[in-house]
Amino acid sequence: MFLACVPGTVAVLVPWWLTGWRAGDWWPPLRGLGIVPLVAGAVVLSSAFVRFVVEGLGTPAPVAPTEHLVVGGLYRYVRNPMYVAVVAVIAGQALLLARPVLLAYGALAGLGMWAFARGYEEPALARRFGEEYERYRRAVPGWWPRPRPWRGPE
């Protein structure tokens, strides 16, 4: 339910509202490149959500949080793969539909997600998981994936 409501609204409903799925008139190969971030973002989003359920024994929703800190899979490379994936989906739609308004929207959505992560999620995770989260936060970047996976505390 959470996956459909929150990321679905940000990555599907609002872009549809902004564009009506009507395509612009860009060079077709450039538009075709939009498939890559769109599909990659959808795969990452699904994978990250499954990781919350299986590894964390909960959901990304604040009303049903995980029992365990999620640090496996894609979370070994970047702390916020779901947010990065949502922005990738929006950027892919912007290219595919040749609609610059979606690039601007994606930037604003990304900024909103960054503010939510910094203002709410990070302090909440620090309170809930303490030093375990602080070690993870220091080792794994929030928004730009590290080249090699984090292997945990050494």
pLDDT (tens digit per residue) in 80-100: 999 999 999 999 999 999 999
Domains of the chain and CATH, by start: 2-139 (1.20.120.1630)
Q: Give me the residues of the chain with pLDDT under 70, please.
A: 1-4, 153-154
Summarised one tens digit per residue, pLDDT across range 16-31 is: 999 998 988 887 888 8
Q: Note if the pTM is more than 0.85.
A: yes
The residue behind tokens 């339910």 is 1
Spell out the alpha helix ranges (H) of 58-121.
81-97, 100-116
**Residue 152: what pLDDT?**
81
User: Could you give the CA distance from residue 11 to residue 41 in angstroms, rounded to a whole number?
Assistant: 10
8 A C-beta contact, residue 73 and residue 47:
yes
What was the pLDDT predicted at 72? 94
Dist CA 10 CA 80 (whole Å): 16
Q: Are 86 and 113 in contact (CB under 8 A)?
A: yes
What SS3 state is found at 122? helix
